[in-house]
């Protein structure tokens, strides 16, 4: 027998964005149904951000034992228990999971249905033996690993981010297809945990970021022993005699092969739209995801799409940002429009690479006057004390000094970018950033020094010098 529900909001997908919408709606007393066919918490908790950062943390401890730096501490080769590292990863997931659980959301007043969802028509979603006829629908189904159509790939064993964290045996030689953030983070983590690692990237590694700063990251990764093959296309995959994996590749230096014991495919993400019945609901979509307006509305005005499934930037915090926009629109009828210029992102390699706003190339493309300022970590006292002097900050402002973008490469870049994300979102100027007082000694001073350098040219202007000379006459 079919049960019919008529809530105000029906959310499809129990990842970061969907959970945020459901929790906010329930907090305001709005009837809400949440549908999730898999694990609550979505990709980030179970296969993405959380397990990868847990592995990176373990790898960083191993690296520091081998390379204690100039602190007067003898290096030690750590004993790596890969199964114990895996247990650490899953313990972190387990510690966070209750916050995203069915029990918690049921307690908040959300009706949770653990079934696959599909649109029956423009006004109805079916999940198991339940029909939901909501006032508004929010599709937050996220994305899955993109598996490229490489000949032979379907004939060899390989991992994606959805399976790599289940491994309890250390890979001897991990070959990674894809040199984006996921590929490079996991490359360094596995290398520091004792595996040989080769990365094969069809374009430039970390290609979405400013190449001036990515060069610092790639130099470090190569120095740690990671082989990075850029502008190299994989044209075939096979299993050689004796096991393992062999990639047939073509690049600027011609054809060749890359061999290893294990293969990780990290070639991007594909929006989860299959099986949702989007055509039946009149929702336009393509291989990139669901088509949305800046207010996250689909071609069916009753339906919104947020997070990875809406295309664009694929980050957990973007899904949360989208959730806030949708809640404003649905509950309060407020105008809400996505602004991708204010979205920060971080690649959690060591050194970290963090960015928000426009890069120098993007500012040049948009036209108009702009300025670029840099300041090195080596000029910062805390960085010297920590022996973390690799890296710099790069700021982009318009002709009047408003902060348009910031990119940081170096220790704690992921934490330091928060201040610049605020500056970009609130349209602050370098005068504002030069005027605040950071505590000493902290690495946040690096950004302030970069801001102050904006005014250094003024000190050399004859008019300014004459003005100062004139004012000196008055005592």
pLDDT > 70 in the chain, percent: 98
**Residue located via tokens 């290893």:** 260
Encode pLDDT of 327-368 as tens digits: 999 999 999 999 999 999 999 999 999 999 999 999 999 999
Annotated binding-site residue? 17: no
Q: Residue 420: is its pLDDT beyond 70?
A: yes
311 in a domain, yes or no? yes
pLDDT at 246: 97
What domain count does the chain have? 3
Residues 157 and 293 both lie in one domain: no
Residues 191 and 290 both lie in one domain: no
Write down which residue in 245, 267, 289 finishes a domain: 267
Contact 324, 20 (CB under 8 A): yes
Rounded to 5°, the CA angle 207-212-215 comes to: 70
Residue 257: what are its φ and ψ, rounded to 5°?
Answer: -135, 155
Q: Residue 304: is its pLDDT beyond 70?
A: yes
pLDDT at 1: 78
Annotated binding-site residue? 209: no
Q: Residue 210: is its pLDDT beyond 90?
A: yes
Encode pLDDT of 74-113 as tens digits: 999 999 999 999 999 999 999 999 999 999 999 999 999 9
423 in a domain, yes or no? yes
Annotated binding-site residue? 238: no
pLDDT at 474: 80
pLDDT at 145: 96
Q: Given its phi and psi angles, is residue 72 left (phi above 0), alpha (psi -120 to 50 degrees) or beta?
A: left
pLDDT at 464: 63
Residues 84 and 190 both lie in one domain: no
Residues 17 and 81 both lie in one domain: yes
Rounded to 5°, the CA angle 132-36-49 comes to: 145
Write down which residue in 203, 234, 267 finishes a domain: 267
Q: Residue 15: is its pLDDT beyond 70?
A: yes
Annotated binding-site residue? 391: no
CA distance 14 to 111: 12
Residue 61: what are its φ and ψ, rounded to 5°?
Answer: -65, -45
Residues 194 and 319 both lie in one domain: no
pLDDT at 245: 98
Annotated binding-site residue? 426: no
**Residue located via tokens 């204010």:** 342
Q: Residue 55: is its pLDDT beyond 70?
A: yes
Q: Residue 141: is its pLDDT beyond 80?
A: yes
pLDDT at 91: 98
> Roughly how many angstroms between the first and final C-alpha of the chain, as a whole number?
92
Q: Residue 432: is its pLDDT beyond 90?
A: yes
Annotated binding-site residue? 268: yes
At 472, is the pLDDT very low, low, confident or very high (cuts 50, 70, 90)?
confident
Annotated binding-site residue? 296: no
Contact 278, 302 (CB under 8 A): no
Q: DSSP character for 429?
A: B
Checking 97-102 for CB contacts under 8 A at 24+ apart, the result is 97/40, 97/41, 97/45, 100/14, 100/19, 100/40, 100/41, 100/45, 101/40, 102/40
Q: Residue 461: is its pLDDT beyond 70?
A: no
At 459, is the pLDDT very low, low, confident or very high (cuts 50, 70, 90)?
low
Number of H helices, E strands in the chain: 14, 25
395 in a domain, yes or no? yes
Taking residues 436-444, report their average pLDDT.
Answer: 96
Annotated binding-site residue? 107: no
User: For the domain that residue 196 is a member of, what is the CATH number?
Assistant: 3.50.50.60
Write down which residue in 219, 240, 267 finishes a domain: 267
Residues 412 and 452 both lie in one domain: yes
Q: Residue 473: is its pLDDT beyond 90?
A: no
Residues 109 and 183 both lie in one domain: no
Which domain covers residue 255, as residue numbers? Answer: 153-267
Residue 273: what are its φ and ψ, rounded to 5°?
Answer: -120, -15
Helix, strand, coil percentages (3-state) for the chain, rounded to 5, are 35, 25, 40
Annotated binding-site residue? 143: yes
330 in a domain, yes or no? yes
Residues 15 and 132 both lie in one domain: yes
Q: Residue 202: is its pLDDT beyond 70?
A: yes
Annotated binding-site residue? 181: yes
Annotated binding-site residue? 352: no
pLDDT at 475: 65
295 in a domain, yes or no? yes
- Compute the mean pLDDT over every residue in the chain, rounded to the nearest whole number: 95
Q: What pTM was estimated for this model as a whole?
A: 0.94
At 253, is the pLDDT very low, low, confident or very high (cuts 50, 70, 90)?
confident
Least confident of 50-54, 247-251, 273-277, 462-466: 462-466
pLDDT at 275: 97
Q: For residue 198, give both structure tokens.
A: 């080769």
Annotated binding-site residue? 31: no
46 in a domain, yes or no? yes
User: For the domain that residue 428 is a member of, what is the CATH number?
Assistant: 3.30.390.30
Annotated binding-site residue? 327: no
Residues 123 and 196 both lie in one domain: no
Q: Residue 166: is its pLDDT beyond 80?
A: yes
Q: Residue 451: is its pLDDT beyond 70?
A: yes
Cβ neighbours of residue 288 closer than 8 Å, sequence gap 6 or more: 271, 311
Residues 234 and 299 both lie in one domain: no
Cβ neighbours of residue 167 closer than 8 Å, sequence gap 6 or more: 82, 86, 159
Encode pLDDT of 18-30 as tens digits: 999 999 999 999 9
Taking residues 358-381, report their average pLDDT.
Answer: 96
Annotated binding-site residue? 121: no
At 69, is the pLDDT very low, low, confident or very high (cuts 50, 70, 90)?
confident
Contact 358, 339 (CB under 8 A): no
Q: Given its phi and psi angles, is residue 109 left (phi above 0), alpha (psi -120 to 50 degrees) or beta?
A: left
134 in a domain, yes or no? yes
Residues 41 and 135 both lie in one domain: yes
258 in a domain, yes or no? yes
Annotated binding-site residue? 178: yes
Residues 292 and 375 both lie in one domain: no
């Amino acid at each position: 027998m079919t049960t019919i529900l008529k809530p105000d909001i029906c959310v499809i997908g129990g990842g970061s964005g969907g959970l945020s919408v459901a929790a906010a709606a329930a907090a305001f007393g709005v009837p809400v149904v949440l549908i999730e066919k898999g694990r609550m918490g979505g990709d980030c908790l179970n296969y993405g951000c959380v397990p990868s950062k847990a592995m990176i943390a373990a790898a960083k401890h191993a690296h520091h034992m081998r390379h204690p730096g100039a602190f007067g501490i003898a290096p030690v080769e750590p004993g790596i228990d890969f199964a114990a590292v895996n247990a650490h990863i899953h313990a972190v997931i387990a510690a966070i999971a209750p916050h995203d659980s069915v029990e918690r959301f049921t307690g908040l007043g959300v009706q949770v249905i653990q079934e696959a969802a599909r649109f029956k028509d423009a006004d109805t979603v079916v999940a198991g033996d339940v029909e939901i006829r909501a006032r508004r629908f929010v599709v937050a189904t996220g994305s899955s690993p993109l598996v490229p159509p490489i000949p032979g790939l379907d004939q060899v064993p390989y991992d994606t981010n959805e399976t790599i964290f289940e491994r309890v045996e250390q890979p001897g030689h991990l070959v990674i297809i894809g040199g984006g953030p996921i590929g490079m983070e996991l490359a360094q983590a596995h290398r520091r945990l004792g595996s040989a690692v080769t990365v094969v990237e069809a374009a430039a590694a970390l290609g979405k970021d400013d190449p001036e700063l990515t060069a610092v990251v790639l130099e470090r990764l190569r120095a740690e022993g990671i082989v990075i093959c850029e502008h190299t296309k994989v044209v075939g995959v096979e299993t050689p005699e004796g096991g393992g994996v062999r990639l047939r590749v073509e690049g600027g230096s011609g054809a060749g092969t890359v061999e290893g014991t294990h293969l990780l495919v990290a070639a991007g993400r594909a929006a989860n739209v299959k099986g949702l019945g989007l055509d039946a609901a009149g929702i336009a979509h393509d291989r990139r995801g669901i088509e949305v307006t800046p207010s996250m509305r689909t071609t069916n005005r009753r339906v919104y799409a947020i997070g990875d499934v809406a295309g664009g930037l694929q980050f957990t915090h973007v899904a949360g940002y989208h959730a806030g926009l949708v809640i404003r629109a649905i509950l309060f009828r407020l105008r809400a429009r996505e602004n991708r210029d204010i979205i920060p992102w971080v690649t959690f390699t060591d050194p970290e690479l963090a960015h928000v706003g426009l890069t120098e190339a993007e500012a040049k493309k948009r036209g108009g006057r702009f300025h670029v300022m840099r300041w090195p970590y080596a000029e910062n006292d805390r960085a010297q004390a920590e022996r973390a002097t690799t890296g710099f900050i790069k700021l982009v402002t318009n002709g009047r000094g408003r902060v348009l973008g910031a990119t940081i490469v170096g220790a704690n870049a992921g934490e330091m970018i928060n201040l610049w994300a605020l500056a970009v979102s609130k349209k602050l100027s370098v005068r504002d950033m030069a005027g605040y007082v950071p505590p000493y000694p902290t690495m946040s001073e690096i950004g302030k020094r970069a801001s102050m350098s904006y005014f250094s040219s003024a000190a050399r202007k004859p008019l300014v010098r004459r003005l100062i000379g004139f004012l000196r006459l008055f005592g």
